[in-house]
A and B are shown apart, each in its own frame.
Chain A
Amino acid sequence: MFSKVLVANRGEIAARISQTLRAMGIAPVAVYSEPDAGAPHVATAGQSVALSGSAAEETYLNIPAIVRAARDSGADAVHPGYGFLSENPEFARACADAGLSFIGPSPESMEALGDKLRSKDIAQRAGVPVVPSSAECLPGDSAAGEFADRLGFPLLVKAAAGGGGRGMRVVQGRRELDEAIESASREAQAAFGDGRVFLERYVANPRHVEFQVLADGFGHTIHLGERECSVQRRHQKIVEETPSPALTPELREHMGAAAVAVARAAGYVNAGTAEFLLDPRSGEFYFLEMNARLQVEHPITEAVRGLDMVEWQLRIASGEPLTLRQDDIQPRGHAIECRIYAEDPYRDFVPSTGALLRWRPPSGPGIRLDSGVAEGQEVSIYYDPMLAKLIAWAPRRDLSLRRMEVALSQFQALGVVTNIPLLRAVAAHPQFRSGNYDTGFLEWNPAVTRPVMSSDARAMARALAAWAAQQTTAQGQQSPATDGGRSASPWRSAGDLRLP
């Protein structure tokens, strides 16, 4: 096993990986950009290396700087987390060249599977159905129009590299095509350092169901069941649950076997996730892509399977065999994850920045928080606005949804706008509760993206705001005792300007 591992990431996932490292007696090393100097992932790591600059390109996407940090700090392995360099084969190679173990699949299978186009080929050859798509196309490419006509509209422009909904556009007609290709390519270049995009048939309102796969270096591959990820905004997941309410035991077996078949066909080693589109009406499913990394929503799998995914990633990367058999790991209960974003759910999810003035997460039975921020920290414009993930587990789905709803209602965050009220509205929504929902959930239910304010709540908020404003001045100091509104402080009282 490794003795020291550099975590090439930031935020909640860097903190979460360090947690497992320490529990296994392995020393974590953090890296951080200038705006992240005071971030929890640095404070909790025990050892850290500064990366100069702020933008992701200069810091968390900077391969030479990160490899140097790993070598200089005496690490023997690198964990890439998700996003940033996690699916970049160049980075995996650079680590290997520097004598560092890369905790993830080989650069070769990353190249094959991380590339959405090649992974579809592999899946088809393994007998797994895929969504029809074009070859790679570049901005201004005349072939793009022909592809588009053949596939029909609407269609999706997708980034060949990466994931997380970035570099993805829905195109309704030919006129929008070039612009969509260009902007998706630009976004993909910025996010993943790879601007290649392709076109894919748009399957309207499918469910998004993915399977967790684990494979060791000795040819043993299993799946750890599914995660239902259909509640999305801008093609980005915000709520995930497992088991999926849409799967019958037969369908689960078919899809799980398909996920394992794709991983085997690619010679995949370590943790990966096979994403599928599921047509809930016909029960047909299509392989979308293989995410060759740890997934954001892995904690719900951990909750129902009773294991630590990062621990298995480390064991497999260090050459240990996967000792779990497919039948050993039956799921227990139900788990749900909500992604807490610094964004305004009522104003088209516009990101919110500022100082996190108050951050008091809930706790309780079956509640887990993976957080990348601390009270007082500045939420900057530089990175993804996800602040934390809240996970609830219970023996039954209705109970874990209730636990989630209660926990969200207790989550105190001030200073930046968050999507917590939206997540709560989703958890409480009758359609979500019924389990009968798809990726169009937010479009079908626009009410959850509008503020609800009872007149009682509003009146109480007004009263408390007025009271609170008198307790502390805007300078953050304690007000002097109220004196009937004639205080010297300009922040206090004086309903009307009094002229001499």
Chain B
Amino acid sequence: MTQSHGEMQEIYPAEGEQYRYRLTEQDGSVTFHLDGDAAEGEDAAISLDIDSRETGEGVCRTESGRTFPFAWAWAFRQGQDPELHLWLGGELYVFRRSDPSTSSGRRRRGAARADASGDILAPMPGAVLEVLVSEGEQVERNQTVVVMESMKMELLITAPRNGVVSRVSVQPGQQVERGMRLLELAPEN
């Protein structure tokens, strides 16, 4: 049995919401669960038997025994995220992965780790877009302190705890390596 999860967005025929899902797969049987807000008020779990002998096409069977042929392909357009095109029941559906590592132009929030010395470190290589605090400033836990850009995505660096900024080590436009110090928080009292 394998399990996986991810996040996708409906693009066509209607621009729909993003949805988070979990997939459980065993011997060709796939159970699909909607997670998060999108799951509310809907029958969020579907089980399908999927028979796909060739990449890009298959037949799925529902629990009630109905079968549906389907087909899929990735579409690439310059300057855009790849789209997953799905043909099902005579209709075209288009989706986009909206996992953080694949999306562009969207912000993700992540708590940075402060090590024992109080340093806030860059979680991944990238560029500093904004420094939102200055030395001597009081910050609260989860307050955004730095905005970084990494892999076409904006990353909001938040304070791991309450404290006072004792040093700002980077400036906007600067390239940083993973693990480099961005800010230093004064030791807790």
Q: Interface of A with B (CB < 8 Å)?
A: 346, 354-355, 357-358, 360, 408-415, 417-418, 420-421, 424, 451, 453, 455, 457-476, 478, 481-485, 490-497, 499-500
Contacts and interface: CB of A to CB of B under 8 A. Distances in A.
A462 B101 contact: no
Interface size class of B (residues with CB under 8 A): 35 or more
B111 interface: yes
B119 to A, nearest CB: 13
B90 A409 contact: yes
13 contacts: A346-B14, A355-B75, A357-B74, A421-B92, A451-B13, A453-B13, A468-B70, A469-B97, A472-B55, A482-B25, A495-B6, A499-B112, A499-B123
B85 A490 contact: no
Given A457-B91, A482-B25, A474 B4 contact: no
B5 A495 contact: yes
Contacts of A490: 101-102, 151
A485 B100 CA distance: 14
Interface string B22-51: 010100001010110000001100101010
Most buried by B among A465, A470, A495: A465
A350 to B, nearest CB: 12
A496 to B, nearest CB: 7
Contact of B21 (A421, A462, A476): A462
B52 A471 contact: yes
Contacts of A471: 52, 55
A269 to B, nearest CB: 44
Contact of A463 (B35, B46, B108): B46
B13 A470 contact: no
A387 to B, nearest CB: 14
B8 A469 contact: yes
Nearest to A462: B19
A483 B178 CA distance: 26
A453 B89 CA distance: 11
Contact of A493 (B99, B108, B110, B111): B99
A421 B90 contact: yes
Contacts of B13: 346, 421, 451, 453
A466 B179 contact: no
Given A467-B25, A493-B99, A495-B7, 7 more contacts: A346-B14, A460-B48, A469-B84, A474-B97, A478-B55, A485-B6, A491-B102
Contact of B60 (A460, A472, A474, A481): A460
B86 interface: yes
B85 A414 contact: yes
Most buried by A among B52, B72, B100: B72
B75 A472 contact: no
A468 B23 contact: no
A467 B111 contact: no
B2 A483 contact: yes
A153 B55 CA distance: 57
Interface string B84-124: 11111111110101011110000010111100000001011
B69 to A, nearest CB: 8
B123 A460 contact: no
A468 B75 contact: no
Given A464-B48, A467-B30, A499-B111, A357 B6 contact: no
Contact of A500 (B30, B102, B179): B179
B6 A493 contact: yes
A186 to B, nearest CB: 29
A414 B99 contact: no
Contacts of A484: 2-4
Contact of B72 (A409, A468, A483): A468
A461 B75 contact: no
Given A414-B92, A457-B91, A476 B74 contact: yes
A357 B32 contact: no
B92 A413 contact: yes
Contacts of A412: 71, 87
